Amino acid sequence: MDNTIVNRAADNIRILSVAMVERAKSGHPGGAMGGADFINILYSEFLNFDPDDMTWCNRDRFFLDPGHMSSMLYSVLALAGNYSIEDLKNFRQWKSPTPGHPELDVSRGIENTSGPLGQGHAMAVGAAIAERFFVARFGEWISHKIYTFISDGGIQEEISQGAGRIAGYLGLSNLIMFFDSNDIQLSTVTDDVSNEDTAKKYESWGWRVITIDGNNADEIRYALRKANDEKEKPFLIIGKTIMGKGAVTENGESFENEVSTHGQPLSNAGASIEKTIKNLGGDLENPFMIFPDVANYYRKVNERKMSNVYKKKALQKEWEEKNPVLSKKLHKFLSGEIPDIDFTEISQKENVATRVASGTVLSYFAKKIENMIVMSADLSNSDKTEGFLNETKAFTRNDFSGAFLQAGVAELTMASIANGMALHGIISVCGTFFVFSDYMKPAVRLAALMELPVKYVWTHDSFRVGEDGPTHQPVEQEAQIRLMEHLKNHSGNNSVLVLRPADTAETTIAWKMALENTLSPTALILSRQKVKDIPAKQNSSRFSDAVNAQKGAYIVQDVDGTPDIILVASGSEVSTLIEGAEKLRKEKGLKIRVVSAISEGLFRNQPVEYQEEIIPYDVPVLGFTAGLPVTLQGLVGSFGKSIGMNHFGYSAPADVLNEKFGYTADNVCKQIEIYLNEFKNNKKDIKHKNSILIEI
């Protein structure tokens, strides 16, 4: 095949990429220059999409892992007609559609936000699982390929182990990954940090692997054909590419394979931008140009794609006419519409751990929500996601009729896979112990940035994990994730909804809130130990009362008139406050209000009038948490006091730790009296610092 125009299009991508970085005075040109040949062949000859509707549900997906190579992706999408030259000129500028690292924008062809290395290709694994999930329910007509592009850095990131293992185990033959192996990373050559045999590694995980010259159009084409024909295994194409391909110095000497071209404009790296553009066939006066012959070539590419799309849409129409019930279900899946759930139907046992209550809800969901996939990091029997698993089955090679992923011990991988599933229209849920949420934070952050409604089930929420000791007892984790409630996403909403329910009824309502939240991820923080149910108010039911948790905080026990003190907590501590309050009412006649605050972020979104009704500013407020005192400081205010942990836990039974750390009704009474005396004596200028219970 004559590759003249193909190679010219690749050079056009190189020129646009280096020009973007040069104009922005920042960026990563070298990798984009090396990867241009593959991205050009992929988009022009293999990737199926609708040029008039990049959101078409049956398109192939392309997940970029090394987000620093964004200029390459924007450039090829400009050839396809999705970005203007003006967009490219504004690379890395304020409010530009071409940010430094790609941000989710499906209508333009950006399938994922990328940047933190490793997560992009793990999301592709999630999308590949979702595609198989859809095919198992609606047929092969809806099948499509998931392509991903990874760099040396992504291969080195630990997440690649989990993603590679899971994809190989499940035999995801719909997944095709190109490894841009140029042997150079940001500060050094890869030989300085690794001597692994990447091909053998992936083969051991069950991948099909081929190594090619990644800058040779014929070899790229051959490899992609082989990959598309694969029926049993995920396919890895190791493309040996040239970092900074085409770069030259002022003297016209080659400046390829230089570490310096990785992360700075060519002119700063030691190459000549003018001579490089000329070497690649560009116009020195106007590097921001799509060559006329390349533009014509891509017009024909788009015409071919439109013809293919027309055929696939005709098949879809024929299928829909023959399968009206399935067709309606498919459109409901793709719409993002939340299934109608009657949460009053969910019957909970009394006084159980909130993780158990969560498992009951998930068991109900398994029978009602057909586009939900639940996964666990080897803890389904402990985090109680087994409630869902018991009503379905786990995915295995060639069988995606179930709806559960056994992720193994790979929390970050699991969270990134959940993101990929969510990007593919799945309601994704993933569970592990709360302390291990630390492993997941990078993927949680990307989910928040992409505004994906992933649900996190984080159990064993406090030192009451007990005998397992401080390695497994979360203390600071709740304060960390609740900071995300203070952080707004680009749509102006809280970036994460964090829910720590106080009993079984609140757990049911928490899941209602999680399911209905389509604007951000939701974290459910759940207890290991049994929790006493909060008593229902007079002439009410506990479930009806708990519905008020949807406002973030509400009164669970109140008094006539103005209270002497307001007690605030979430989770297990609410029942302890109720016990202590009851004791003080009887012994001291105090008028005590108890507030359950399942989500400070949600509470602060309520009208000010409601906030002041629940927690007035002129009444003493005492917060009680098993986390850091700062967890509740925003709710108790400047004149309030927040009591919590300031140390790691210890290995001992949970009841012993409750006594040792002061999480008892008696100590609640003691702390209330201490605080009220402080408040009375210093009423005009009292300003408490975050307090602790007991120092050990």
The set of catalytic residues is 411
| Contact criterion met (CB below 8 Å) for 601 and 494 | yes
Q: Which of 265, 202, 251 is CA-nearest to residue 33?
A: 265
Q: How many residues appear in the chain?
A: 696
What's the one-letter identity of residue 173?
S
Q: Is 498 helix (H, G, I), strand (E, B) or coil?
A: strand
Q: What is the dihedral of CA 244, 198, 430, 133, to 10 degrees?
A: 90
CB 409 within 8 A of CB 378: yes
Cβ atoms 178, 235 nearer than 8 A? no
- Tokens 């972020």 -> residue: 601
Nearest alpha carbon to residue 557 among 539, 532, 574? 574
Strand partners, 189: 184
Q: Dump the DSSP string for 243-254.
A: TTTT-B-TTS-B
Scan for tokens 């109900």, then name that residue: 364
Answer whether 333's CB lies under 8 Å from 135's CB. no
CB atoms within 10 A of CB 409: 13
CA-based diameter of the chain, in Å?
93
What is the C-alpha to C-alpha distance for residues 127 and 115, in angstroms, rounded to an integer? 18
Distance of CA 430 to the CA centre of its chain: 11
Dihedral angle at the C-alpha atoms of 406, 408, 409, 413, nearest 10 degrees? -80
Token reading at 437 = 């949420």
- The rounded distance, in Å, linking the Cα atoms of 445 and 149 is 21
Direct distance between the N- and C-terminal alpha carbons of the chain, in angstroms, rounded to an integer:
76
Structure tokens at 66: 């090394």
List of residues 6+ apart from 662 with CB closer than 8 A: 671, 693, 694
Residue 26's Cβ-count burial label (10 Å; 0-12, 13-18, 19+) is: middle
Q: Between β-strands 592-596 and 565-569, what pairing exists: parallel, antiparallel or unpaired? A: parallel
| Plot region of 139 (φ>0 → left; ψ -120 to 50 → alpha; else → beta) | left
Using alpha carbons, list the distances in angstroms from residue 54 to 77, 81, 125, 221. 11, 11, 20, 23
Q: Exposure of 442 by Cβ count < 10 A (0-12 exposed, 13-18 middle, 19+ buried)?
A: middle
* Residue-by-residue DSSP string for 591-649: -EEEEE-S-HHHHHTS-HHHHHHHS-TTS-EEEE-SS-THHHHHHH-TTSEEEE--S--
SS3 378: coil
What strands lie across the sheet with 61-64, from one edge to the other? Answer: 61-64, 146-151, 175-181, 235-240, 208-213
Q: Are strands 554-557 and 592-596 parallel, antiparallel or unpaired?
A: antiparallel
**Do residues 514 and 523 make contact, with C-beta atoms less than 8 angstroms apart?**
no
**Beta carbons of 80 and 47 less than 8 angstroms apart:** no
Q: Identity (one letter) of the amino acid at 320? A: E
Residue 419 CB-density burial (10 A; 0-12 exposed, 13-18 middle, 19+ buried): buried
